[in-house]
Structures are given as structure tokens and as C-alpha cells.
Chains A and B, each alone.
Chain A
């Protein structure tokens, strides 16, 4: 058995590769540690659990790319490497290292699935060939390396066809083409990402089915789970609503596909876990294998949570050489790992999209992934699980019905034919408008079984509407609850209030039952702590004792603005509570998280985070209290409601939370405390708002209350924009006030993360943004300790924070955002909860802020840790990761509403080193020979001039459009003139980008926000589409130029976390 193993993480969260790899990596490390293996982890994703001190023996916050991994291998000399726990990022990196001979040269063995098997699954031609050897069917397809070739193949196969890229995560660059021009266009684009594309028969309307398969070195195989997509073929499985187990497959079909799966995994020689995807003909037993992922995947994480089977953990043990029959099933304690879970419930997964955050993005779902997270709901009827899941998305839906016109469709049939993320509501709308199940099936290809279930919910809503207003029959109420209706949904349909329905329910003694997930359909008395709520049942599976327990609310679906960092916070809060002798109970519904791992808490409720569900859990659990400050905005928003319902909130009082979240109350508070803030006004009428904006001068910032990631926040440059943004803000947060304030240009933005107890600050960290104010803090590059902030500014921030902490009697974590210009410090926002940057500051400063905060919340006496911002002789830089590549059409610019999907952080001996490492980790390249530059206004050009000189001195050549080029030439910097995209003349900017003649695009937009197809948009979009690094922020560009001028790739040191 290997003594020292290197594990590659998946780096920043991105579309197609999200939190599931924190789960799988963490489980792998645990499995290895249990065997006494020394573990080394490379992952710059600092907000993950896997990069915690208690897991891997050594952690490197370095980019997961061949350059850095090779250096770590040379330094650490591991015996083995795990490639399959860090998504496609780790797999691709591992394959490159293998091809370059690095692994062989250093005697590093790939553990688990051999590289040859990985290549068999990744190279489409070899894949098809290997499957043909055992008579397994694949879609008829051929590889093409030019657009012309693609067109010819499509002609032979017959339209429609689908185009895919080998070695792509999340179906990048793939799509359905129904005509020759469509093939030509997509093939051209896809071939810039890969040397080879695949043109394939398009199996329209076929069912899409997946199996998760495991194999050990003795050739023993199991399928842990199968899953059926609600959406037919053509929609990426990551974009599909998925049910587990399959619902419409007969025994023959289920086991035919299972048998093929096992045959395939044996033939390929996989050791560990793999995922196999099928298309199944809805009219016969004909099938096609779509793909095999020889690694842990999003689906395997889902399967793991859906069944309770610890897939990643067992896969890691198999990689070490164990047999499935030799391993215990650590969740049940009574069975072996060689075992196929039997579910006695149904699971529904729905992806979460944030498409409305992006300008100009296409919302059509297809074969490429666009979703940023997902939710999983568990029920004992399909209706129950589906309706729960829709609410969990937190996109405004109450379930299938009761959405009060929230979802409108201009063309219902088109929506059914060409689905967007709102297709389920289109199905509901169609049923309500008299379409038959048959009609909807014909348009959407969704299996009629699913449609009938939706129709049943629509029928129940009708019955609720027709029930007499003063009495709701008990049987109907029960039927609705069993079909997954929330109290609020019933209230909306029957014209009552949510509280009235709750009252009726309590009168009738109608409460959900606590059910256990035990992987074996109750066959053996398993000791699991994995729970959910269901109205379909007759008894609770467990009774709670009188342990002193605390309920922690998790973060819900990952979305832009709330992802793995809040999971880190919630999990760490659990550790702290457990250390303090509490029985820890987690409530969360995100299958991609570590917080929903069976072994992290004493009990896990996999269910909704709503007033209703929390009240029901508390009714049975009777916890000492509920912690709402660790899971981001979802739990935070429940504070006041729970408090009013008589639930004890642990930590800062809900009244204080309200004073901070409610923009008007908070601004009032700052005025009272004599703390400076940008001039502000609460919105009463549009006219007043306009008068105010003109008075203080545009630009003006529109700010709704109780939102995360600056949803609907916007900078208005004039009256009409102001009107437009205000309207949106009021819609997104109707119960809470919207405030407008003066937007300050050219100001620094600084984060203050703190922990206070009884209003006194115990610990704090100050991080500065590289970008000026105006870029959302989640999209900004953070520097800790601050390098360019005046001492006087820091002193003022500390004093202001003390005042605020005392005034709000803060008890727990908090975050304040400041802006500063020439030592004038103003407060712009305060959150009385853990913030996105808590894991970053905790890990850089090596003080666990969540541990402190949790103990503060629980009233333990605390000593202030000795930390001083001046005592660090290293620097941490956190950089955002953007997934614009995957969001077709989206304008890749930054603003006050967050758009990044993930982040990384790296350490360095100085700012430049840490900064460049972090940028490399999110995809920048240091080998820059040519830059396409457009710098915006003259003032902006002037500011950039020095940076341009630095780049010129490095021998970098500039391309620019006429204005910028002339400016550069006037200042003795040579520049070649290119035409604007819309000028359609040669030499053209976009063509240069497409042809790979540009290494870096620096494009500083002039406006804060403008939704039109401008030249700037086309240049930025081309950069993203053709994989050329893009910088759209001036300060970032300046720092990058300075860093490039001073630091070379080989200067970047290979130091593990503990070596700083």
C-alpha cells in the first residue's frame, strides 16, 4: 500500500465543476488517513473543507496545473497520486503529467483506475472502439478535426446531430445542430477549444439514464444507484431535473442497462468509481451509451447523497487495493460495502441557474451546462420530492403551483419545445390552460408519467381553490401535504394565510414524520443519522433523546454569491459545537456539500430550510437553539420569522440582524452613531429618487435589502436607468425597503471580517480589494494583510467597527464593508453573519474565525487571539473565477452585482507572488507576448500609461483600436491598429482573437452597465469564447502589469501552507 499519496483538487468552483469535489476529495482524504497514508493535497480553493488543517497532512494552495504539480511531486516525492477526486481539472492535469512522463520519471503510481482506462473514456474514438469490442452500443458518431469534416459526417448521419468535445467538463462547446450552417458555426467554435470534436446522431426524445458503478481489483462490481432524467436527451444531465431511482424503467430495462454498465466497467478495467450515461429508447429496449466518466462526478456526489452510500470514501479504499466485500458499509454499520442500496423514498435533483444575473445570456437549456448549483429533495411520493425541490431553489417558486404569475411565458409552446430553466412552470401553465398530457409530451418529450404527476398537483390546487373558504376538508389538507404542498402554497390556493393553515394543520395533528435513510429499505436496523421529513408515513423512524442539541442551518443551493465558503462555515460551526459538548444537527439540502456528509454531524436533516420545516424539526428535536449566522443569506433571512415564532436564535439577536439587513434602519443607525456613509435615501417614489440622485449627482447606487451577492444592485448613470433598476429591486425584495445612495468613484473598498461577543470585538481581519469600489466584493481580488491601505484608514475602520459591534450587541460573526478615499472612511454595508471571506481570513491568519464565533455565540468565555496585521511576513490573495465561457452570449464585465462562480486563494512571500499564483489558478497565463488593449476614457488611458510602458519593456506587443493605438503611439509605445468588430474590416480585433494572435485582452468598459451589443461586448465575448485571458478592470490590469514586470513563473515558490 502506498505510504505517501498526492491528491489533486478541482480548484475554483465553476460551472460544471462545483462543490461536489470538496465532498469527494474530503472523503478520499479521510479514507486514506484511516489507513495511515500520508496525504498531500494541491488545491487553491481555500474555502473548501478538504484544505482544512485536520484533513490532509500537507496542503498546497497552488494552481492545479502540470507546472505546479510537477514541482510539488519533485519536492514531496509521493508514491501514489489520486486523479479521480478532483473533477475534470484534476483528471486533465494528471493525464498531461502522464503524457509528459512526469509520473513515470518520479515513480508516482496512479492509484485506482489506470491511466489507460481513463484515456479510453476520454478519447472518443478509442471509447467507441473499446465498447464495440464487447458489443456495447454507442451513438453513431465520428470524430472531426475541421468544420468541413464535421459537415460531411453530419450529412452521412442525417440531421439533427449533436456536436461534442473530447476532454470537456460539463459539455462545454457542445450543442444540437439541425442544419449545415449550424454545424459549421458550432464546429468552428468548438475546434478552438479542442483539436477534435465529435459529430453524433441526435437521439431526440430518448430517455436519459445514468448508473453509478464501482469495481474492485477482484473484478467485483456493484451499481450504487441509477437515475432517470426528467428532461429527455439533448439537455445535459447537469442541467436536467433528475429522479433517483429511475421511475419509468421496467425490471428488464433497469437490469439490461445495469448489466451493460458492469460489462463496460470490467472491460475498461476501472478500479474505483465511474459513471455511465445512457440514452434509452422510449419505445423499445434499444439503448446507446453516451459517455463514461472514469472519476467521481457531480452525479456520483448526488448518488452518494441520494442513497446514503459513501461512494467517494469507498472509491478511495478501492484505489488502495481493498475489495468491496472486505470493507464495512460505514453508514449502516451492519452491511458491507459490497451492497446495492435499496431506497424507500424518491429523490429529485434540480439544478439552480443564475442566468438572470447575466446580461445578454441565452437561457435555452441544451447540451452544455449553465447551472451553478443544485438542490436535492427527498420524499415518499414524486410530487412531494419535486415540490420540495422547487422551493429549495429559492428562485421565487412556492412549488409547482401557487406562483402567482411569477413565471410568464410569451410563447408557451416554444418554451415547451425549447426549454429554459423555467420549463417546469411552463408545463404547469400548459396544464392549467387546457393542454393535455399528450400535447405536452409531444412538444417537450418529457415522459408522460412525470407529466401525470405534475397534473395531479395542478388538480389538487384546483380542489383547494374550490374548497369552501371557511373550512378546508381534513382529507384534502392531508392529500395536499402528501403531495408536497407547503402551508404557504395551500394558503395561496385557498385564500388563507400561512399561519392559518399551520393552525389548521396543528388542530388536525397533521405533522410530517421523521424518516431515516438507511440504504437498505429498513431490512436491517441500521444506525444512521441521515434524516428527512415526509407526510407520507405513519410513524417517526427515530426519537430524540434529551441531549443538549443545536440546530445549524446550512447554505442551501450553491449559487452565485453563496457557495462552498458557507459550507465551510457551517461545518466548522458544527465542529466547534461538538467540542463544546453539543449534539450537532445540520439542516441543509445541497448534495454537493460536505455539510450533508453523514459523518460530519450527529444528525443530518436533508430537507428544506424554511420557517415551516425548521418549526417542524424544532417541534420534535427541541434544540437549545438555532444558528442562522453560518449558512449565508438563506438562514439569515429566516432569523426574524423564527424569532417571532418563538424559536431561540443563537447568536446576535434577530432585531439586530434586522437593523443591519434593513437598509433604511441601518443607514439610520450609522447616522445616529455619527459614522460616515455615502449620502442615501430610502425610496418612496420614483420622483423623489430622481430628485435625490440629481442632487447628489449621478452615478447612484440602487440597493435592495436582505439580498445576497448584490442581487438587483445596480449603478444608475441617469434617470431612465434609475427607474429601470428601482423597479427590479422592488420586485426582488418586495417586503423590505430599497435604498439609493451616491455611488463613489475611484474609492478603495475594504472588508472587515470580525467576531464579537456581547458587542465586544474578539478578533478581526482586514482585507483590501485590488479593484476600486463598484466591483462586487465577491468578484473582487482580495489581499490580506492589506498592502496599499493607509494606517490611518485601518485605525478608523477599527474604531467604527467597535462602535457598530457595540450598538448592535453583536454576538458571533460579522462583516462590514468600507470604502475609503484619502483616509475618508465610509461604511457601505454590514452583515451580522459569517461572510464569504471567513475561510480565507481564517486560513491565511491561521485563526479559525468560525470556531471563535461559534464559541462566542454559545457564551463561552473567550480570550482574544494575538493577531496583528503587521506580523505576517507573507501575503494571501483571493481571486474570483468566472464561468463566462459557459454562458453563451453573457457580457463578461464586472459590476455591483456578483457574477463569479468561485474563487481561489494563494500565498506568497509578497503581494506579486501570491497575486500571480492566484491568477494562474483561475486561468491566466504568464506567457504574454501580445496584448489587445482598449482602455476606455482618456482619464483611464492616462492611468494605464505607466502599466503599458512596463509591458512594453517586457517586449510585449500591443494591438489596439485607433483611439487607444494613437494614444499609445503619442506616448512612444508602438501599437498596431485593428478595426472594431462592428466595422467588419480587416485587420479586425475579433478575427485576431479567433486566430490565436492575442495572448491577453485588456478591455476596460466605459459604462457601468449597458445592455447592448457594443464593440466592447463583442471583443470581450470573443476573448471568453476563444479562451484568451481577459481583464476588464483597470486596477487589476495595473497590478498584473507590475507583477509581470517583476516576477517570472520560476520565481513562484512551491511552499505548502505550513511553510508560511
Chain B
């Protein structure tokens, strides 16, 4: 057990302000600077380190509905070849963090520092003492809103992160090659969670991770995986363009989350923004035409519009709670995408078998 960080003298107060004028005063336990973004909530009960480092949260102020946060501190941040061993990227990606009850005392064999110390090091502001349930109810009723964490005397303006190409911000700059398998997967990194890479490596694939707009027409590979990532899929025009080319070559493609939306756009379907998105670890999805149901981990604000799927494309999974699209599949069996996260981390690993399906595609 470590002492709480020495910088956190008496807790500073700051406010979370929403674009509708709601104000939630809280106590700062992260980096003491004002910031702005889109406010979203996540109902997962474990996995704050994984969520915070998920690049899909870029631009988002993340509110956790599970009230006790910080209990097991932060794991060591060890990475090799730009691949983190335990986390989902090399840094905290969320714009800010909102919790109800922060635990300054933490305990875990694998913790190297407190959550507070980590947030401070990565310069991410965080507030505790905020009724995240009340906040969630508001977002649920009014939809996702812009918001800001404001410290006394340090005003900031609201910022809409969805107007930016966030995937471009979180993607890798240069291609990186991992592993030595006999088959090679090309991974388009739109903000890829590292557990996608680890999941592929565990299945003995070689992974070529390329930037979101990389022209891979000259690369040799057996299949294409389009990663998750932040923001509006329609911002990634180059990726969509490249995907269309790959589809024309009948290259096997598997899209995850944003990658799934990009695949749908490339196929000619449409995407739209959900009222408040799906961000949790308990999203139930049902495979169409059967009785297989999965509990899935999700983090997305946009979705594929079922009705716009072109001929030869079928909805593959559907959300049991609200009926939204959770997956698509092409009649050829060569292109598929899921809205949820088979790599989990955080969340249930029930959908992990989809990577096995992907591996099979590489042998088609």
C-alpha cells in the first residue's frame, strides 16, 4: 500500500458543467486543469484502467456509474514495441474522469501507483463526489451532451470532439510489425485497443498494424482487421476508401466497433449517432436466426442503420435491449463486423471466439 500522492494536499474543488447549464461540484483527484469534451457514462463495475486507456474515449469526459473507483490502483505501464502489456494504449485517452467515491487508498499486488497519481502524470483531470447516477439519468433523458470540468479562475469553452477526426489523433503514425505467425493480418489502427493485437498474437498471427489512412494496396497479408476507435465514422473517409478497394479484392475483413461502422459505410450502408450510446460491459446481443446470445463489452456512440444494408449483407447480431445493430455479415462470408468488443478488456470475454472465426477466414 502506497501513501496517496504528495501533490494532493487539501482536495481542490472544481465543477462539471454541462451544455444545458447543469452544474455538479466535485473534488479534484486528477490533474488540476480545466478541460472540455463530450460527457458519456459507462456502467461497468471493473476495468477503469482499461477504459481510461481505450482510445475510443478520446475527447470524452467519462463518468463511471459504479461509485467506488480507485480500489485497486493503477497497473504498471509497461510497453514493448508500442504494445502495452496490460493496458489498452500507452496513455490515458479520456479527456476527464467523473466518479462518485474515489478510494485514495488502494490495494493490489499488481498496482504500481494510485489512480490519482496516474491521472496526474498523464495530465488528466478527474472529479469525485459527483452523483454519477443523477448525471447518467440526465444524459439518458437528454442525450449525450458536451461538458467541461472547470477549476476556479480557469474558464474553458465547450468543445465538440466529434467535429474532429479523432481516429487520426489516436492512430499510430508508422506501420509496426508484430509476431511471427504463418498468416499475416493487417490491422488498420483507428485507435486500436491493444488487446486486439494481443488477441491476434495469441492466435499465432503476424500482425501488421498500420495507420488509419495507410494505403495498404502494396502490402502482403491474408486478412484485414479494422479496429475500434473514437468519433464519427464518417470522418475516416480514407479508411472507407481503402476498405472498398480491399472488398473489391475479396480480401477477408473483420471490423470491430468503429471498424464495423467503417465496413458498413464502405459497403454502402449508413451510420447514425445514438442518443447516448452503449458504454458498458453488460450489453446483451443475439445472433440473428439462432439462439446464441452473448454478453458483450461496448463503447460506441454511433451505430449502423439496419435498414440501409445493401443486398448481400445481413444483420448478424442484434442488441437485445434496444434492437440496434450489433453486427453485419456479407453473404460471401468474407466480410464481417461487430459493434461490440470481442477483445473485451474491460468486460466479458464471451465473444473472444470471433477472433478464431477471423483466423479461419485467413485460411480461406
Contacts and interface: CB of A to CB of B under 8 A. Distances in A.
B349 A259 contact: yes
Contacts of A335: 284, 320-321
Given A284-B109, A380-B100, A521-B280, A449 B71 contact: yes
Nearest to B45: A245
B78 to A, nearest CB: 15
Interface stretch (A533-541, A707-715, A804-812): A533-541
Contacts of A537: 131, 133-134
Interface stretch (B62-70, B163-171, B239-247): B62-70
Nearest to A447: B107
Interface in A236-287: 245-252, 254-255, 258-259, 262, 282-284
A452 B131 contact: no
Interface stretch (A17-25, A336-344, A768-776): A336-344
Interface centre among A248, A255, A259, A521 (most CB of B within 10 A): A521
A345 B281 CA distance: 16
B307 to A, nearest CB: 23
Contacts of B140: 522-525
A764 B105 CA distance: 60
A249 B46 contact: yes
Contact of B281 (A249, A342, A448, A452): A342
B107 A381 contact: no
Contacts of B71: 247-248, 449
Contacts of B90: none
Contacts of B295: 222, 338-340
Interface string B93-128: 000000011010111111000000000000000000
A345 B67 contact: yes
Interface in A341-360: 341-346
B349 A448 contact: no
Given A251-B345, A344-B133, A449 B103 contact: yes
Given A248-B107, A251-B46, A340-B282, A522 B320 contact: no
A1040 B241 CA distance: 90
Contact of B67 (A222, A250, A344): A344
B179 interface: no
A380 B67 CA distance: 6
A345 B24 CA distance: 19
Secondary structure at the B interface, as helix, strand, loop or mixed, is loop
B76 interface: no
A271 B260 CA distance: 34
Interface residues on B, range: 35 or more
B286 A325 contact: yes
Contacts of B131: 536-539
B37 interface: no
A248 B108 contact: yes
A877 interface: no
Interface centre among B130, B140, B292, B320 (most CB of A within 10 A): B320
B147 interface: no
A447 B46 CA distance: 18
B340 interface: no
A558 interface: no
Given A284-B109, A523-B136, A536 B101 contact: yes
A250 B65 contact: no
A284 B108 CA distance: 9
A833 interface: no
A250 B46 contact: yes
Interface string A501-527: 000000000000001000011111100
A521 B43 contact: yes
Contacts of A536: 67, 100-101, 131
A499 interface: no
A977 to B, nearest CB: 63
Nearest to A335: B321
A323 interface: yes
A882 interface: no
A539 to B, nearest CB: 5
Nearest to A539: B134
Interface string B281-294: 11010100001110
B67 A325 contact: no
A248 B72 contact: yes
Contact of A449 (B49, B105, B345): B105
B75 interface: yes
Interface string A212-253: 000000111110000000000000000000000111111110
A251 B49 contact: yes
A631 B282 CA distance: 37
Contacts of B72: 248-250, 449
Given A325-B293, A521-B136, A250 B321 contact: no
Contacts of A380: 67, 100-101
Contact of B137 (A250, A259, A522): A522
Interface string B42-74: 011111011000000000000001111001100
A344 B133 CA distance: 7
B114 to A, nearest CB: 12
A324 B282 CA distance: 14
B258 interface: no
Nearest to A436: B1
B186 interface: no
Contacts of B65: 342, 344, 521-523
B233 interface: no
A336 B1 contact: no
B350 interface: yes
Given A250-B108, A262-B350, A449-B105, A336 B321 contact: yes
Contacts of B293: 218, 220, 323-325, 338
Contact of B284 (A262, A284, A336): A336
Nearest to B24: A538
A915 interface: no
B348 interface: yes
Interface string A378-409: 00111000000000000000000000000000
Interface centre among A325, A343, A525 (most CB of B within 10 A): A325
A195 interface: no
B132 interface: yes
A954 interface: no
A686 interface: no
A438 interface: yes
A334 interface: yes
Interface in B26-53: 41, 43-47, 49-50
B133 A521 contact: yes
Contacts of A219: 292
A69 interface: no
B346 interface: yes
Contacts of B210: none
A220 B137 contact: no
Contacts of A447: 107
B346 A251 contact: yes
A537 B67 CA distance: 10
Given A251-B346, A438-B1, A523-B280, A344 B292 contact: no
9 nearest A-B residue pairs (beta carbon): A521-B43, A251-B47, A538-B131, A452-B105, A521-B65, A218-B291, A342-B43, A340-B282, A449-B107
Interface of B: 1, 24, 41, 43-47, 49-50, 65-68, 71-72, 75, 86, 100-101, 103, 105-110, 130-134, 136-137, 140-141, 280-282, 284, 286, 291-293, 295, 320-321, 344-350
16 contacts: A249-B72, A250-B72, A251-B345, A252-B86, A255-B46, A323-B293, A339-B284, A339-B321, A344-B133, A381-B101, A521-B43, A521-B136, A522-B41, A522-B43, A525-B141, A538-B131
Given A381-B67, A515-B133, A522-B41, 12 more contacts: A246-B46, A248-B71, A250-B46, A254-B45, A258-B348, A259-B348, A335-B320, A336-B284, A344-B132, A381-B68, A437-B1, A523-B43
Interface of A: 218-222, 245-252, 254-255, 258-259, 262, 282-284, 323-325, 334-336, 338-346, 380-382, 437-438, 447-449, 452-453, 515, 520-525, 536-539, 541
